[in-house]
Structure 1
Amino acid sequence: LSSEEPKARPYTTLCTTGSSSTRSSSLKID
């Protein structure tokens, strides 16, 4: 997955390491 979707890589990392607040930020960036 990470190899196929480089964009999802940082997004997933932030989602897991960050809080719901970070999740929203990631979605906004996308």
Structure 2
Amino acid sequence: MQENYIWGLSTLTVLILLVWYLAIFGKVDRSKR
């Protein structure tokens, strides 16, 4: 059960990082134009 919890936590972290990165990247792209 411990491995399942770690897997879910890591997946959630990766998703949050992806959204955060895309949000910042989008802002930078907008400011360039």
TM-score by length of 1: 0.39
Please say which structure displays the higher CA radius of gyration: 2
